[in-house]
Structure 1
Amino acid sequence: MEKSRKKFVDLIDKAIVAANTMDREELLFSYKGILYPTTICSPEVFRAMESFEARTDDVILAGYPKSGTNWVGQILTDLVTISEKKNQDEENSVNEEELEFPYLEIGDVEKYERMNKLTSRRVILTHLLPDNLPRSVFKNKAKILLLIRNPKDVATSFYHFSNGLSSIPSYETWNDFITDFMIGRMPWGSYFDFVSEWNKHVDDENIMPITYEELKENQVLGVKNIAAFFGISLTEEELQSVTERSSFQSMKENSLKTHGALGSILFRKGGVSDWKSLFNEDQNQEMDKAFEEHIAGTKLGAKLKYEVYCKT
């Protein structure tokens, strides 16, 4: 595990150093109409990813940026570690030191060959739209935990993240940021497109949607449901351990070790309704209108409980 974390930290640290030498307009590139960070993604990586072979027992987490993927990724990693320790003897246990950087679309072109050599179960995170994932993910019916978060808190968190991380463009004002966010001129594209496109798969038997907010409301129940979805049994002691290790406070305290310089940027507040500190009345109305037009009538839209979390 230490080796895999070092890979994670090294990649991010190199990306930050590289970004500091680049102009703002160089920080993002477009691939199939969507923007991505130049320092951690590339067209060559996306093309190589098409040949990636997903497995039925892969543990995949899909979420738009700043929806809680690092948090839930910690939960999934702990669950898989517990499961593997139970199901495999010491001689055939998973070699944690060989686990790859978790985000599917981030890395180098040889990454997928290395991933193909890994023993199961692999924990894979992604911010991609379903149509931009390798076709094998759906063909092989890999199980996907779909994580969504209310758009106002996503925008607020993304704004602070953008101004803290040099690898993506920063903004002089919140007004400038929210203008770009509303039209989808963001790394990994439009929030509304993400939710709308994933909603087309919400009834697939291999997909389980969960919201950031419901996990915040009852993390123990959320972890239980996630474990059941992936067929992982937990004792009460194991459930408590996973819940404690993935608490915001615990992850924030360990962030320097687990995420390097990125840690203090990733784990800022970890709460709900921080949007009230930034949105003005016009921006509230604009977001309310966009939600109504693009998401409100969908199953994922209903699951977000917009009236509860996004109304003043």
Structure 2
Amino acid sequence: MAKIEKNVPTMEKEPELLNVLEVDGVPLPVLSKEWWDKICNFQAKPDDLILATYPKSGTHWMQEILDMIQNNGDVEKCKTDHSLHRHPFLELKFPHKEKPDLEIALEMSSPRLIKTHLPSHLIPPSIWKENCKIVYVARNPKDCLVSYYHFHRMASFLPDLQNLEEFYEKFILGKVLYGSWFDHVKGWWAAKDTHRILYLFYEDIKKNPKHEIHKVLEFLDKTVSEDVVNKIVHHTSFDVMKDNPMANHTAVPSHIFNHSISKFMRKGMPGDWKNHFTVAMNENFDKHYEKKMARSTLNFCPDI
């Protein structure tokens, strides 16, 4: 059973919009201890498909790919509702929604696509018990950090941060929502050896989306024509998604996601960290990375 240590006070932002519960040392945006118990007791189904990521690692992108696959490349079916409404998060309650995503998931018919940012050791036990298929996407930590920082700037329900340097320090120490990036990617990397997990990399999808989509299709035991694969590649490209109001989050109320501060779909290009990190920040990050990842077989591309 996960240890719930304390309710962590949020940083200078409307408390009714953000509640942080520390579970096993991991800060989570969970409504309450009682709600965490409901998450832990979530009853998975064998045909559930779980999309797991650390925040800002390609969740939204992979959701669109999986949605297109499930709908056999039918673009219009993937535009029936805003992406935040099509597939729920296990643990989140968005301020503009009437009820938590968990309740939405419980009301969904099968097969369900359910998203989560939870680290592997905090995943509801029923997901392992039912042997659900899980797609995990990992992203280079430097780009992840920069993207996460800009998301904090535009998402009103997240803590205010003074600057990138402040967020950089918190990210390295794992003092951000969902905790340490290092622990997250390593935990899921280890879990793939004993569970049905397809572990993908953001940079690989960017470099060769068709190849990675074929990996997903094989993992899901799904067969579609090459024309459908090409359609999925096109529909889920950054430029097309950025112009799709059902995918770019512009349909979310502006007091929740303020696109005048930063776009939700900002750049999507590996290597953007080079435009934000100072030489000192980069050298310090590399030293920390070497220490935290010393015994891991994981390798990440700094760009493509």
Query: For the superposition of Structure 1 and Structure 2, which TM-score range results when normalised by the shorter chain?
Result: 0.7 to 0.9
State the one-letter code of the partner of 1:125: K
1:74-113 matches, cutoff 5 A: 74-82=64-72, 101-107=87-93, 112=102
Deviating 4+ runs (over 6 angstroms): none
Specify the alignment match of 1:62 in structure 2. 52
- 2:49 and 2:114 in contact (8 A); partners too: yes
Task: Please tell me whether residue 22 in structure 1 is matched to residue 14 in structure 2.
Answer: yes
State the one-letter code of the partner of 1:211: F
- 2:14 and 2:157 in contact (8 A); partners too: no
Deviation of 1:104 after TM superposition, in Å, equals 1.2
State the one-letter code of the partner of 1:36: L
Residues 296, 271 of structure 1: CA spacing in aligned structure 2 closer, same or farther, 3 A cutoff?
farther
State the one-letter code of the partner of 1:69: T
State the one-letter code of the partner of 2:282: N
Is 236-245 or 66-75 further displaced after alignment? 236-245
State the one-letter code of the partner of 1:271: M
Secondary structure of 1:188's aligned partner: coil
1:119-138 matches, cutoff 5 A: 119-138=109-128
Task: Please tell me whether residue 140 in structure 1 is matched to residue 130 in structure 2.
Answer: yes
User: What is the TM-score of this pair, normalised by structure 2?
Assistant: 0.80
Structure 2 Cα separation of the partners of residues 145 and 309 of structure 1: 22
State the one-letter code of the partner of 2:271: S
When the two structures are aligned, how many residues end up with a matched partner?
A: 274
Residues 202, 21 of structure 1: CA spacing in aligned structure 2 closer, same or farther, 3 A cutoff?
closer
Residues 220, 185 of structure 1: CA spacing in aligned structure 2 closer, same or farther, 3 A cutoff?
same
Task: Please tell me whether residue 149 in structure 1 is matched to residue 135 in structure 2.
Answer: no
Structure 2 Cα separation of the partners of residues 139 and 160 of structure 1: 37
For residues 206-235 of structure 1, the C-alpha deviation after alignment (integer angstroms, 9 at most, x for no partner) is 011100000000011111111111111110
Indicate the percent of aligned positions where both proteins have the same amino acid: 30
- 1:252 and 1:263 in contact (8 A); partners too: no
Residues 118, 193 of structure 1: CA spacing in aligned structure 2 closer, same or farther, 3 A cutoff?
same
Structure holding more helix per residue:
1
Secondary structure of 1:200's aligned partner: helix
- 1:55 and 1:142 in contact (8 A); partners too: yes
1:1-312 matches, cutoff 5 A: 22=14, 27-32=18-23, 33-37=25-29, 41-82=31-72, 101-107=87-93, 112=102, 115-255=105-245, 259=249, 260=252, 261=254, 262=257, 264=259, 265-299=263-297, 301-302=298-299, 304-305=300-301, 308-309=302-303
Higher relative contact order by CA 8 Å / sep ≥ 6: 1 or 2? 1
Residues 182, 110 of structure 1: CA spacing in aligned structure 2 closer, same or farther, 3 A cutoff?
closer
RMSD: 2.9
Task: Return 5+ residue gaps in structure 1 as ranges.
Answer: 1-18, 86-95
User: What is the TM-score of this pair, normalised by structure 1?
Assistant: 0.79
Residues 100, 217 of structure 1: CA spacing in aligned structure 2 closer, same or farther, 3 A cutoff?
closer
Specify the alignment match of 2:7 in structure 1. none
Task: Return 5+ residue gaps in structure 2 as ranges.
Answer: 1-10, 75-79
Deviation of 1:111 after TM superposition, in Å, equals 5.3
- 1:48 and 1:109 in contact (8 A); partners too: no
